[in-house]
Amino acid sequence: MATRTRPSSKRCAVIGGSGFLGRHLVERLVDRGYTVNVFDIRQAYELPGVTFHQGDLCDRQALLLALKEVSVVFHCASPAPASDDRALFQRVNIDGTRTVIQACHEAGVQKLILTSSASVVFEGTDIKNGREDLPYAKKPIDYYTETKIVQEKLVLEACSKEKGFLTVAIRPHGIFGPRDPQLVPILIDTARRGKMKFIIGDGSNLVDFTYVENVVHGHILAAEHLKADSPLCGQAYHITNDEPVRFWDFMSQILEGLGYSAPRYHLPYTLVYGIALLLWLMALVLRPLIRIKPTFTPMRVALAGTHHYYSCARAKKDMGYQPLVPLREAIVRTVESYPHLRKGA
């Protein structure tokens, strides 16, 4: 058992602190006077006021070193959704999260803030202004989502006022911003390969894209409002930009901002989804022989061709959440942060 001294409420740990969201969170926490321990499988940077602990979150002993004298833990580590590796998701998101909870208990941590995902309720069909009381997806769209559901349940069920261990889950959607390794890089790579010519469906579907600083703001508000007598205990909260936007308008603004043409021609949603499913099944069957990574996966097609936007009324009410950076400004900042992805660069 780790030795316990009374932890300071300004000493926290960020599991996954080398990642896209994690690093933005760490930077903001340091600005706000927190002392931060980062626990991650890799060390991506150095920052005054931050101590790095490199390790796998499935390793309880390694975690315990990073959680020593820490009162608040942010858990935002996950394998990338694109890895599509069921065993890895199971090991890290489910078994690993159990280990995180156990290590928090042993180290005397008081609060655990999980980065979940609004996708835990998404089954590939329209969601308009979805609230947190929507049921979890019965048929999650991929392994990533399947394990994020179990992970969220584990964390919320671990909330215990009696034990002095409080938990909350933040459900962001479509995080974007400087240093994001997914959305903008995948989009530009697809455009560079000449595959961003088509709009899937009629292009009117509304989606939430959330600027990373707003997601960070939601996490810190949650940590600071999570108290034994607060409504946050054991609850999930949507955190979005609160400005649903047409999926294809958003993509077009990023593409045009970086000097690429916006997609113009329409393809029927069911046709593209069917092809994507077929390619995914082929990739699965051929996996022992050759590893194929289709660009248009069923998950991406579903995300690109349906309405899915979420209400953050609960976060506004319970923790005073308001997005700090509006969408228009967020897109400008994001485009400016990727000079190397500009056309011709």
Ligand X SMILES: NC(=O)C1=CN([C@@H]2O[C@H](COP(=O)(O)OP(=O)(O)OC[C@H]3O[C@@H](n4cnc5c(N)ncnc54)[C@H](OP(=O)(O)O)[C@@H]3O)[C@@H](O)[C@H]2O)C=CC1
Ligand Y SMILES: CC(C)CCC[C@@H](C)[C@H]1CC[C@H]2C3=C(CC[C@]12C)[C@@]1(C)CCC(=O)C[C@@H]1CC3
Active site residues per annotation: 144
Options 4-12, 41-49, 227-235, 298-306: segment touching ligand Y (CB under 6 A):
298-306
Report the alpha-carbon distance of residue 256 to residue 254 in Å, rounded. Answer: 6
The listed partner (ligand Y, ligand X, none) that binds 76, CB under 5 to 8 Å by sort, is ligand X
| Nearest residue to 234 (alpha-carbon basis) of 128, 329, 331, 162 | 162
Kindly state the DSSP code that residue 266 receives in the 8-state scheme: E
DSSP state of 21: H
In terms of CB distance, is 89 or 280 closer to ligand X? Answer: 89
Cβ 173 to ligand Y, closest distance in Å?
Answer: 6
Q: At closest approach, how far in Å is the CB of 101 from ligand Y? A: 20
| Shortest Cβ 117–ligand Y spacing (Å) | 3
* Smallest separation (angstroms) from ligand X to the CB of 42: 5
184 Cβ neighbours under 8 A, 6+ residues apart: 176, 254, 258, 334, 338, 341
CB atoms closer than 10 angstroms to residue 160: 14
What φ, ψ does residue 236 adopt, rounded to 5°?
-110, 145
Residue 7 binds what, of ligand X, ligand Y, none (CB under 5 to 8 Å, by partner type)? none
Please tell me whether residue 130 binds ligand X under the rule CB under 6 A. Answer: no
Is there a contact between 55 and 75 (Cβ–Cβ < 8 Å)?
A: no
Q: Which residue of this chain has its Cβ atom nearest to ligand Y in the complex?
A: 117
Binding track over 81-120 against ligand X, x by CB under 6 A: -----------x---x------------------x-x---
From candidates 49, 164, 181, 274, binder to ligand X by CB under 6 A: 181
**85 or 126: whose CB is closer to ligand X?**
85
Distance, in Å, from the CA atom of 70 to the CA atom of 100, rounded to the nearest integer, reads 13
- Binding mask 141-160 toward ligand X (x if CB under 6 A, else -) reads -------x------------
Give the burial string for 291-326 (b: 16+ CB within 10 Å, else e): eeeeebbbbbbbbbbbbbbbbbebbeebbebebebe
The CB-nearest residue to ligand X is 19
Q: Does position 174 bind ligand Y by CB under 6 A?
A: yes
Residue 265 DSSP label = E
Residue type, 88: L
- Exactly one of 8, 51, 295, 322 binds ligand Y (CB under 6 A); that residue is 295
66 binds, among ligand Y, ligand X, none (CB under 5 to 8 A by kind): none
Structure tokens, 33: 């006077």
Distance CA 144, CA 35 (A): 31
Q: Is 272 in the site for ligand Y (CB under 6 A)?
A: no
Nearest-approach distance from CB 141 to ligand Y, in angstroms: 9
- Give the residue from 97, 110, 344, 316 showing the smallest Cα distance to 227: 110
As beta bridge partners, residue 52 has 38
By CB under 6 A, tell whether 177 contacts ligand Y: no
What is the nearest approach in angstroms of ligand X to the Cβ of residue 314?
17
If the CB atoms of residues 70 and 276 are measured against ligand Y, the closer one turns out to be 276
Minimum CB distance to ligand Y, residue 228 (Å): 29
CA distances from 260 to 114, 196, 287, 310, 338 (A): 36, 9, 33, 29, 13
Tell me which residues touch ligand X (CB under 6 A).
Answer: 16, 18-22, 40-42, 56-58, 76-80, 92, 96, 115, 117, 148, 172-175, 181-182
Tell me which residues touch ligand Y (CB under 6 A).
Answer: 81, 117, 119, 173-174, 182-183, 186-187, 190, 295, 300, 303-304
